[in-house]
Each structure stands twice: as structure tokens, then as C-alpha cells.
Amino acid sequence: FRHGEASDVIVNTPNGPVHFGENHPLVVIAGPCSVENEEMIVETARRVKAAGAKFLRGGAYKPRTSPYSFQGHGESALELLAAAREETGLGIITELMDTADLEVLGEVADIIQVGARNMQNFALLKKVGAQDKPVFLKRGMSSTIEEWLMAAEYIMAAGNPNVILCERGIRTYDRQYCRNTLDLSVIPVLRSLTHLPIAIDPSHGTGWAEYVPAMAKAAIAAGTDSLMIEVHPNPQKALSDGPQSLTPDRFDRLMEELAVIGKAV
């Protein structure tokens, strides 16, 4: 799996190039689970940028367990992400679920997310491998490390070397307290197995905002290159993943706490 030394994924954003990699500052990606409306996405973008995030996240196409849950605003949400990008200069990361949406999504996304539920959607992997945008590949919730690396290999074999691996928690037997079990042991393991940059998502990893800061700090201590954190201006009203979303104020404090952990933010 290892293609030479640890290497960076460099992403060009309106605010300049951002390096994901071992010898660079921590890259923080933050924003709501779903793009809900223009006001909330632009407001969140401003706040997370001021706190030090380099990328805004926000789902336009949402992979929901129930077909009756909010499915995302689709193409109109992509336009709102474009507005937030224009306003703040933040890079945009958003999930692609259907290869049919690649072109329109690629117009606004600086990084394309492949979600946990699609980690082994090989048709999707081949398509994102055959285009130029970096890919943020989330670990399937029941996937082994080898399956995950093979999924990354699909993207690279199709011609795109720019893959970031994101651990987002694996299936847990103790749903009572955490949504998933965040497997931080993958950080040193991946470091030994692959040259690819590593990201940790403590929001989906725990499912509860109150546990996010501790796991974000632990991930930095273990050597992560990047963090993805859900932030919502009013978590109680969120259309998806409210319970695990930090308020902008709590995110500000977390960013201050992270700065003292080690890897400069």
C-alpha cells in the first residue's frame, strides 16, 4: 500500500494552498452536517474561518439511514456552498453519493468526500479516481483497514493520487453511550502502512458534542494530520446530526485548546 515516503496532499483553496501531511500544521475542516440555508452556511463559514478552520464542510446529498429523513437540498445546496466559498475563501468539502452528480459537485468542491456507506462503491471510487479533485475517503463503519486501503487503491489505480483517509468511528456494540467507536489506533497503524494523510472525525466517531473535544485532542496526540468537526449555529434545530454538532462558541474554545496540544493549528 505504501507508495514511497509519507506524502502531502496539497489542495488549492481561494485562500491559498493547504497541505495535508505529517510535516504540516493540523488542517481543520468544520461545518454543519447538512447545508440548510444560505444564512446558516455563510454564518458558520465565517465563524469557523475566524477560529482557524481551512475548509468548510456541509452536505448537499445526504446518505440517511431512513428514506424519510432529510435527504439534503442537492444542487441548490451546492450553490450555497459556492456562496460561502466566495464570501470566506475557505475550501469546500462535500459528499458525492451518485456519479451522475460529479460534474456539478466538482464545480464547487475543492475536496470530494466519499462517505462511510460508499467506501466500497467501486463504481464511485473509479469515477472519483478518474478526475482531478482530491478525495476524502471515509472508513466504512464495518470495514477492515485492508478493505479501506484497497478502496483508496481503487482511486489511485484510476489515476488520482490525492486521497485523504478519514476514520469516523466503527460499528459499536455499546450504542447506549456512543454512536460509534472511534478507532484512534488506526493513526499509528496507517502511518506504518501507507503514505497517505490521515484525518479523524470525532463528531460521527462519538455522536455526542460533549465528547468531541476530548477525542479531537486525543487524535492530535496520536498524530492525526487533520480533523473534521461538525459545527452548527443552532444544534437543537439541525436537520441532521444536531446532537454531535458543536456550537460556534464551543468550536472557538476547542480550537484554542487544540493549539496547545502540540501540532500547530
What angle, 0 to 180 degrees and rounded to 10, lies between the N-to-C axes of helices 38-51 and 248-259?
20
Query: How many CA atoms are closer than 13 Å to the CA of 222, on its beta-carbon side?
Result: 23
Q: Is 135 in the site for ligand PEP (CB under 6 A)?
A: no
* Alpha-helix runs per DSSP H in 121-244: 122-129, 145-157, 186-193, 202-206, 212-222
State which residue, 168 or 195, has the beta carbon closest to Mn ion.
168
Q: Is 98 in the site for ligand PEP (CB under 6 A)?
A: no
Interaction pattern, residues 139-168, with ligand PEP; x per rule: CB under 6 A: -----------------------------x
Q: Is 73 in the site for ligand PEP (CB under 6 A)?
A: no
Q: How far apart are alpha carbons 194 and 116 in whole angstroms?
A: 19
Cell numbers representing residue 28 in the block: 481543520
Q: Is 36 in the site for Mn ion (CB under 5 A)?
A: no
Q: Is 201 in the site for Mn ion (CB under 5 A)?
A: no
Least distance to Mn ion, CB of residue 208, Å: 13
Least distance to ligand PEP, CB of residue 33, Å: 5
Could you say which of Mn ion, ligand PEP, none residue 168 binds, taking C-beta under 5 to 8 angstroms by partner kind?
Answer: ligand PEP
- For residue 165, what is the enclosing H or E element? strand 163-167
Q: Is 81 in the site for Mn ion (CB under 5 A)?
A: no
Residues that bind ligand PEP (CB under 6 A): 33, 59, 63, 115-117, 138, 168, 204
Using CB under 5 A as the criterion, which residues of the chain lie in contact with Mn ion when the complex forms? 33, 241
